[in-house]
Structure formats: structure tokens, C-alpha cells
Structure 1
């Protein structure tokens, strides 16, 4: 995710990082070159390369704008829902750290060890969820928080984050069986684990349910056809200014489309994706501090305005 102050007027037109210009520059260049070719051909041979009325382009442009608006709204909803889910995960893990304090007061040293084990699993869950959503993440961030016997089973699991939640649930059940805490306290802790499971399910839903492909395909086709035909409608009225106007229109349409693609995948690795890796590190730091550790790393900071 791009994290930076609002730029000034000059910087507004020169910023590249975080914009979609690198992704859409080839398309815009093709539209510019095609427009220039149409203008040259029309002036060289008006009968061979005629122009058409510009009125239909106004209506088609309005329709495409509406389609783009709906699609980008749907994509932003996915991005914002994912951000709310991960914000809820940060809160839930902190809540879990606070709730497990009952182990230290009710069971002494064994309780402190059990709490350390549980919070280590919660940290592992946060990193495992990142890796579940971004498979290229280093697995050692997860396995370093797991006992050796669990690390092997974790690697073999088809749903590693859910495996860790099952282990947390199993640990709580064993502690309840040993009467380390009461039924009410167990229910409270189990409900917190249930909220973690709900966040996992919500993240999987977003990951595995993209915007319907047919809708995206229709929008892509219409935008390309519109930009390729646009110079035929303005060759007479704009002349050699047509390539610049069509390039600006292409930048707007293709740029909004590309931005929608990035927002559609909030867990991706493009600049406008969510910083779920940084959020998992925040959870780790918070829970380690809850365990009494003082030698903690600094909170994640953006590098070159990018926080992932």
C-alpha cells in the first residue's frame, strides 16, 4: 500500500510509484500512435479514411463511465472489506492476549507457559494467514513460532491457518479439562478463537470470489473499441490535437480499469494492495510485548512510500 503525504501540484504530475502509469503506458501509446495514423491517413486520403459523427461517442463514453464506476465500486468494496477484516484481526489478537492473563493468575508457572504457547500460536496464525493469501511469503515466519512437532504437521496441512486455530482450540480444551479455568472463561476464549476463524473465512471468500469475469471482459472490450474508434469521430474537429485527446481519454479509462484490477485483489503484491504483512508484524510485536518482552523490533515503516 502506498503511504505518503498528499503531493503538491508539481509532484502530482510527476509521481510514478503508486500510480497505474507503468501498467497502462503501452495501451495509451498504442492509442496515441493509432490516432496519429488515422489523422495522417484521413488528411492524405479523406475518401479512403472517412470520419463519423462524434455524437455516438458521447453516449458510449457515458455508458463506459457508468460501467467503470460500478466495477470500481465493487472492487473498492472488496478492498475495504479486507481492510476491515484485518483491522478486526489486530483487535482480536490483542483481546486474546488480554484474556489469557487469567492463566497467569490461576495456574502460576504452568499457566504462564500455557499463555506463552497460546500467544505464540496466535502470532503464527497471523503470519500463516499472510502466507495463505500470499503463497510466496517465507514459511519460516510461521514455523519459527511453532514447536517442531507442529511445524511438520503445519507444512502438510491443506489449510495451515485453520490448522493453527484447531491447535489453539485443542490447547484451550486441554486446559479446561485440567480445570485451569472455568466454563465461562473457556467460552470467552473460545469465542475469541471463533472470531479469528471468521476472519480467515472472510479472507478466503474475498480471495476465491473475484468480480464476475464476464462483467470485466465486457468492460475491457468496450473500452478498447471506444478508444480505437475515437479518432475517427474527432479527426475533422480536432485535427492533430486528436492523438493527445484520445491518449488522455485512454489514460482515464485504462487507468480506472487497472486501478480496479489492483483493488479487486487486496491481498496481492501490487502497490495498492493491503499491507497484510506489516499488519502481521504489528500483531507479533503487540503480543510479544504482552508477554513481557522488551527487546522488540520497530513497528513496520514504509520503504520508498511502500508498505506491504
Structure 2
């Protein structure tokens, strides 16, 4: 995801990075060349004059816009639910870290005693990111988890679930050593359950895409509409017809590309979730609870240029 300050409105008109223009440039160029060809031929296809007017395109445009709105709303719902689940990971991790520091011994436990548990929460967030982005499951976990656990995670299919199991075993040890009353241990277990729920929800989003037929119908309809539109506007608009058609095509193609991009919110495309920044925020927040100095927070690109 792009993290940067909002540019000036004039510069925003010419921004390419994150605008989806690189993805749809060749489609727009095809539509523009087709429109120019129709303009030169005066709407004739070989010896046949294509007699189309703007009237049917008004009706088709409304239907296509409704379907396109449904598609992008469905994709955005997936995107926002994923962001909500990651927000809950941050909140629950903070709560568990605070409880580990204040409830695991009378008068509060020393940070060194609870440090493995809190670092394990950071490791869970990192492992969850790795799984959703199909990275090696043990990437970035060195120093956060015991070496034996990191070695155990290598090659597993659900490293975050195993980390939750290790965190639960840590709570069990505290309870068996009378460092954590059973009722408080049960309360903290509920926090681990919330982390497991967030993990399962994100896995559901990642492993259950929208039905493929939505993309097929929208893709075909958009192309047919934009390829026929020049024939309907050539007689009424004239020389400005290619520009009008390209503008309409840009709207349809860009929204279609955006819906495809945010349908999978855990990727690394410019408009996907900034998972690395979220995990870095969890890391910094929990290390501050331990009294440690966190690494510098990710900053927007102050040297942003039009690209």
C-alpha cells in the first residue's frame, strides 16, 4: 500500500503511481485507436453503416454502472473487514501485553519475566502477515520467539496457530506456578481466542475469492460497451468522440481494476493493506509497554514525485 501525504490537487490530476493507469493504459490505447478508426470511417464497418445512437448506451450504461457498483462494494467489504480484523489484532495484543505485565504476579511482574510472551504476540502478528502474503512462515521471527519454536514453524501450514498454542502453554505454566489466578488465565485465554478469530477471518477472505463469473461478466460487458460506444457517438459528437469514449472507458476500466486489486487485500499492490506498517506498529506499541525503544515508525514518502 502507498503511504504518502496527499499531494496538491493539481499534482493529484497527474499522479500515476496508485492510479491504476499502468494497468489499464493498453486497454485505453486500444479504445482510443478504435475510436479514431471509427471517426475516420464515419461509423462504417466495411460497406455497412452501423446505425447506433446514444439512446441504448444510456440504458446499458446505467445497468453496467449498477453492476460495477455491486462488484466494487463487494471487494471493498472484503478490504474493510480485513482492515478491521488487523485492527483487532493490534487492540487485543496491547490488552494481552498489559495484562501479562500487571496480572501475572502480585504487585505486577517484572518485564523480563513477561517479555517472551509479549514478543510472542509480535511474532504472531508477523507470522500472520507471512501466511497471508505467502512468505516463508519463519521470516522475521528470529529474536521474537525461542529458536526451537522458530525451527518447528519452518515448513508448517499454519504458523500463527502454533504460536497461539505456544502462548497458551505459557499461560498454563504461569497458572500452574501460581503466578496467574485461574480466573485471570481464563480471561487472557479469551484474548487468545480473539486473535484466533481474527486469523480465521483473514484466512477466509484470502482463501475465498468472489465468484469468478462476476469478473467475467463485468469484463465482457465493459469491453463490449466501450467498443460499441464510438459507433453511437460518432455522428453526434464528431472530432471530440475519441476523447469522450476514452474518458468513459477510463472510468469503467479503472473501477474494474480497482475492484480486482482490493478483492485480495493482503497483497503487495499499491492499494492493498499496508501489512508491514501494521505489524511495525504492533511491534512498536508492545515494545514501548516493555520499556524498550521501538524502531522508527514508517513515514510517508516526503520525497514523493509524480510517478
TM-score > 0.5, shorter chain as reference = yes
**C-alpha contact 1:2 1:272 (8 A) present in aligned 2:** yes
Separation in structure 1 between the aligned mates of residue 274 and residue 81 of structure 2, nearest angstrom: 14
**C-alpha contact 2:266 2:275 (8 A) present in aligned 1:** yes
Cα offset, 1:112, TM superposition? 4.5
Separation in structure 1 between the aligned mates of residue 11 and residue 304 of structure 2, nearest angstrom: 14
- Answering whether residue 260 of structure 2 is matched by residue 261 of structure 1, we say yes
Q: Which runs of 5+ in 2 are unaligned?
A: none
- Answering whether residue 207 of structure 2 is matched by residue 208 of structure 1, we say yes
Separation in structure 2 between the aligned mates of residue 281 and residue 46 of structure 1, nearest angstrom: 61
Cα offset, 1:104, TM superposition? 5.9
Q: 1:205-235: per-residue Cα shift (whole Å, max 9, x none)?
A: 1111112111121111100110011111112
Cα offset, 1:157, TM superposition? 1.9
For residue 21 of structure 1, what is the aligned residue in structure 2?
Answer: 21
- Answering whether residue 149 of structure 2 is matched by residue 150 of structure 1, we say yes
Cα offset, 1:302, TM superposition? 2.6
**C-alpha contact 2:5 2:300 (8 A) present in aligned 1:** no
For residue 230 of structure 2, what is the aligned residue in structure 1?
Answer: 231
For residue 186 of structure 2, what is the aligned residue in structure 1?
Answer: 187
Structure 1's 5 and 277: CA in aligned 2 closer, same or farther, altered over 3 A? closer
Cα offset, 1:25, TM superposition? 0.9
Separation in structure 1 between the aligned mates of residue 193 and residue 143 of structure 2, nearest angstrom: 24
Separation in structure 2 between the aligned mates of residue 168 and residue 56 of structure 1, nearest angstrom: 62
Cα offset, 1:98, TM superposition? 0.5
Structure 1's 71 and 242: CA in aligned 2 closer, same or farther, altered over 3 A? same
Separation in structure 1 between the aligned mates of residue 76 and residue 203 of structure 2, nearest angstrom: 17
Separation in structure 2 between the aligned mates of residue 108 and residue 138 of structure 1, nearest angstrom: 34
TM-score by length of 1: 0.91
For residue 66 of structure 1, what is the aligned residue in structure 2?
Answer: 66
For residue 127 of structure 2, what is the aligned residue in structure 1?
Answer: 128
Moved more, 210-219 or 57-66: 210-219
Secondary structure of 2:220's aligned partner: helix
For residue 288 of structure 1, what is the aligned residue in structure 2?
Answer: 287
**C-alpha contact 1:234 1:242 (8 A) present in aligned 2:** yes
**C-alpha contact 1:78 1:264 (8 A) present in aligned 2:** yes
Separation in structure 2 between the aligned mates of residue 265 and residue 185 of structure 1, nearest angstrom: 38
**C-alpha contact 2:79 2:264 (8 A) present in aligned 1:** yes
State how many pairs are aligned.
304
Separation in structure 2 between the aligned mates of residue 41 and residue 166 of structure 1, nearest angstrom: 70
Cα offset, 1:299, TM superposition? 1.3
Cα offset, 1:144, TM superposition? 3.0
Which of 296, 299, 305 is the equivalent residue of 2:297? 299
For residue 271 of structure 1, what is the aligned residue in structure 2?
Answer: 270
Higher helix share: 1
Secondary structure of 2:299's aligned partner: coil
- Answering whether residue 93 of structure 2 is matched by residue 80 of structure 1, we say no
Q: 1:248-274: per-residue Cα shift (whole Å, max 9, x none)?
A: 110000011111112211111111111
Cα offset, 1:41, TM superposition? 2.2
**C-alpha contact 1:3 1:305 (8 A) present in aligned 2:** no
Cα offset, 1:115, TM superposition? 1.0
Alignment RMSD (CA, Å): 2.2
**C-alpha contact 1:2 1:305 (8 A) present in aligned 2:** no
Moved more, 247-256 or 11-20: 11-20
